[in-house]
Amino acid sequence: METIIQSSSAKSHHGNSSADEQKQLANLPPSLERNPLSAPEKPPRNHLDNLRKASLPKAEFKKSIQLLKPRPTLLFKLMFSIICLLAPFTSSAFIKDPVKCASWPCLIFSDDFTSLDHSIWEHMKTCAATGNKEFQYYTNNRTNSFIKDGVLLIKPTLTNETYDDEFLISGTLDLWGSTPHTQCTSNRESGCYREGSKNSIISPVQSAALRSVNSFSFKYGKVEVRAKMPKGDWIWPAVWLMPKYSVYGEWPASGEIDLIESRGNGNLQFQDNKVGNQMVQQSLHWGPYYPYDGRLRTSIRKNLEEGKSFGDEFHKFTMDWSSEYLAFSIDDEVTLNVTVDDRGFWGLGGFDNSTIEFQNPWTSGTRMAPFDEEFYLIMNVAVGGTNHYFSNDFKPPPPWSNDSPGGKAMKEFWDAREQWLPTWNRDETAMKIDYVKIWVT
């Protein structure tokens, strides 16, 4: 594969008070004029002098002084204890520098999602994240990405539930933002700003995409994700990895690793094969430049037995990646093992014998190039798109044309909602992630 209008208004608590406020403050008893959260004042000097003048015995004088000293309240002590108890649980994520590993395999990343750590997972915010002209826009709110019972849910919802139907055809979706965590993450294909019209509507679905691009990336190791796929027509879940630096050039020259891709449809076929939520696809993308992609040589589809779905229960998806090979597994069963000879992926793709004169982008790398650089994680749920992932040859075919422009295809999809919306049932539409773990081996 390869956000948010915010408005707020608040009265300032700083500056000059109104005349009425000054008048009310003037009539307050002295004990209520101070901020109750401010530090206690020292006892007046003359009060201590009075105690001394009273000629109290030394022991009684000391006791009187102790009574005047400010003491922590019981509430303060209780709050401090709660903070100390909760401090270890503020994040469920764990990152370790591989240099500090003393034995192997060594766990360098783990998240079991008892909480959602925003310092680890950046939310993408855009209408166009991957160039597949999908029908969702990605946003950051707890409707589309949230923790429930120790599981991360990434869930698509309808845009008109946030706005209304009129917004799709006449509204403005401005995702530019103004702070690091509200800024648009991709302006590809005007992904940061969209205006709706009757023939080219605003994305009718909002969803979430989380990535570790700014917090964690790695080269070589074992990735394990325990996940449950969504159910619902035309939903496209994915857990994948992209290069941190794109050393070898633009996609697909620097590679892409798809650990999990599926489709939410319960009844979708291509020829005699079920290609809905009974199937998961695992792939590598690589090639000198678009549209030349060697994916078909490094891709596998795994179907469950008749009557079962990847949306029924959790499954374990694994990738073993080294300087010699890259292998995928599902529930500990190896599904694909990719190795290359000394010609690398250049030879595997047959680019060296092509009638087209290509330039090899991987000459500076190892034979595993482009899969010899750091990659980061992405987890997202998309909907639809016009890149033929939902092919016109499927049965039933998608209710839009893959040849339609993006906005028109979205309108065709939205106009057919009476067909697909009944298949979207509450949290069943969410991709559920139990944990993500990564080791160096």
84, 168: one domain: no
Query: Which residues, other chains included, contact 253 with Cβ-Cβ below 8 Å and sequence gap of 6+?
Result: 246, 286, 287, 288, 289, 361, 362, 370
Q: Output 378 or 16, whichever has higher pLDDT.
A: 378
Query: Which residues, other chains included, contact 396 with Cβ-Cβ below 8 Å and sequence gap of 6+?
Result: 267, 268
Closest residue by Cα to residue 116 from 148, 85, 87: 148
> Among 89, 113, 141, which residue terminates a domain?
89
Residue 11 lies in a domain: no
Closest residue by Cα to residue 156 from 175, 137, 128, 173: 137
Residue 422 lies in a domain: yes
252-281 pLDDT, tens per residue?
A: 999 999 999 999 999 999 999 999 999 999
Distance CA 239, CA 233 (A): 19
Section 52-66 average pLDDT: 54
Q: What is the pLDDT of residue 79?
A: 62
83, 182: one domain: no
> Among 89, 121, 150, which residue terminates a domain?
89
- Phi and psi at 195, nearest 5°, equal -120, 135
Residue 133 CA to chain centroid, in angstroms?
Answer: 19
- Phi and psi at 201, nearest 5°, equal -85, 165
**Which residue type is seen at 439?**
W
Q: Name the one residue in this structure whose structure tokens are 């009273």.
A: 54
Section 34-54 average pLDDT: 46
162-190 pLDDT, tens per residue?
A: 999 999 999 999 999 988 889 999 999 89
73, 98: one domain: no
54, 114: one domain: no
Six-digit token string for 427 = 């949290």
Structural domain boundaries enclosing 54: 49-89
Q: With 90 as the cut, is the pLDDT of residue 384 above it?
A: yes
Q: The domain spanning residue 215 has which CATH number?
A: 2.60.120.200
Section 37-49 average pLDDT: 46
CA angle in degrees (0–180, nearest 5) for 405-411-413: 100
Give the count of domains, the chain: 2
What DSSP assignment string belongs to 11-51?
A: --SSSPPPHHHHHHHHTS-HHHHS-TTSPPPPPPHHHHHHH
Residue 385 lies in a domain: yes
8 Å CB contact between 3 and 126 = yes
Section 218-243 average pLDDT: 98
Distance CA 59, CA 417 (A): 84
79, 122: one domain: no
Six-digit token string for 384 = 């639809």
Q: With 90 as the cut, is the pLDDT of residue 25 above it?
A: no
232, 354: one domain: yes
Six-digit token string for 227 = 């996940």
Tally of CB atoms within 10 A around 418: 8
**Three-class secondary structure of residue 336 per DSSP:** strand
200, 279: one domain: yes
223, 160: one domain: yes
Is the pTM higher than 0.85? Answer: no
Q: With 70 as the cut, is the pLDDT of residue 32 above it?
A: no
* Rg, C-alpha atoms of the chain: 29
Element (H, E) at 63: helix 58-68
Distance CA 307, CA 287 (A): 37
Give the strand pairing for 205-207 and 136-138: parallel
Residue 323 lies in a domain: yes
> Among 29, 59, 89, which residue terminates a domain?
89
Residue 283 lies in a domain: yes
Closest residue by Cα to residue 319 from 307, 303, 305, 337: 337
358, 252: one domain: yes
200, 241: one domain: yes
72, 193: one domain: no
Residue 88, preceding bond cis, omega within 30 degrees? Answer: no
Q: Kindly report the average pLDDT of the chain as a whole number.
A: 86
Q: Output 74 or 162, whichever has higher pLDDT.
A: 162
8 Å CB contact between 288 and 351 = yes
61, 175: one domain: no
Residue 44 lies in a domain: no
Residue 345 lies in a domain: yes
Q: With 90 as the cut, is the pLDDT of residue 140 above it?
A: yes
Tell me the H-state helices in 121-278: 159-162, 165-170
Residue 3 lies in a domain: no
**Three-class secondary structure of residue 66 per DSSP:** helix
